[in-house]
Structure 1
Amino acid sequence: MFAVIKTGGKQYRVAANDVLKIEKVSGEVGDIVEIGQVLAHGEGDDVVIGAPFVEGATVAAEIVEQGKARTVIAFKKRRRQNSRRKIGHRQQFTAVRISEILTGGAKPSKKAAAKAEVKEDAPKKEKAAPKKAKAEDAAE
């Protein structure tokens, strides 16, 4: 099964287990994000096309990586004027793995939701007290 989704002003044709780089999406590695703008989905000749979006269809994806793309150099020069400008830009991206394509208003499977819950339930490390405070307590 495939789906055509819209995110970050671009359209992508995706299927389960595809990994793609999209515009920056907030979240941490391992989080599950839902993309609700599905333009079409189907398999073979059974294709449902939305106007503009298919109602009740979403795509669940797991965040694999948050990063920045390679540097793009914008260089401008005006000849014989001793004038030039050089600017670099690194676009932020999010790499996601498509876990499933959901239709009919279905929610993500428990496997995908369980991964998100495990990340939230993990104990957080507490910061240790400064060593100077311990030394002062021992002196008293």
Structure 2
Amino acid sequence: MYAVIKTGGKQYRVEVGNKLKIEQIVAEAGSDLVIDQVLMVSEGENTSIGKPFLDSAKVSATVVGHGRHDKVRIFKMRRRKHYQRHQGHRQNYTEIQITDISA
């Protein structure tokens, strides 16, 4: 059984037991989280697709922790113009583990 959820402007295909890194949310490590923006649930041959969300479906998860992704380096250069710009960025994330999918 798997589901497609939407959180942080992105869509994820999740199954029970999966760990994934989503955009940072305000929650303590170890707390439970319920995601109600479920786009699709599939169980064997039965597939339910929402328009846009399924009303009765929910995905439960536990917050494992918070962290920051690897640094993304931005480098701009104009040749022969003595122009160089360096910039870096690290995006925050929340790591969750899926505990239950209810349809």
Structure 1 length as normaliser, TM-score? 0.71
Distance in 2, matches of 1:75 and 1:27, equals 34
1:102 positional shift = 2.0
**Quick one: distance in 2 between partners of 1:97 and 1:25?**
14
Counterpart of 1:31 in structure 2: which amino acid?
S
> Distance between the aligned counterparts of 1:36 and 1:74, measured in 2?
36
Structure 1 unaligned runs (5+)? 104-140
- Please provide the CA RMSD for this pair: 0.9
Deviation at 1:42, TM superposition (A): 2.4
Shift of 1:82: 1.2
- C-alpha distance in 1 between matches for 2:20 and 2:65: 10
Aligned equivalents of 2:53, 2:26: Cα separation in 1: 23
Equivalence for 1:43: 43
- Quote the residue 1:29 is aligned against: 29
1:4-50 superposed Cα distances (whole Å, 9 cap, x missing partner): 10111111111111101111111111011111110011211111111
Residue 58 of structure 1: how far off its partner (Å): 1.1
Question: Which one has a bigger Cα radius of gyration?
Answer: 1
Q: CA deviation at 1:78?
A: 1.0
Percent identity among equivalent residues? Answer: 47
Aligned partner of 1:97 in structure 2 is: 97
> Structure 1 or 2: larger helix share?
1
- 1:87 match: 87
Verify: 1:55 aligned to 2:61, yes or no: no
Structure 2 residue runs of 5 or longer lacking an equivalent are none
Query: Partners in 2 of 1:35 and 1:25 — Cα distance?
Result: 12
User: Which of 1 and 2 has higher RCO (CA within 8 Å, sep 6+)?
Assistant: 2
Match of 2:30, SS state, is: coil
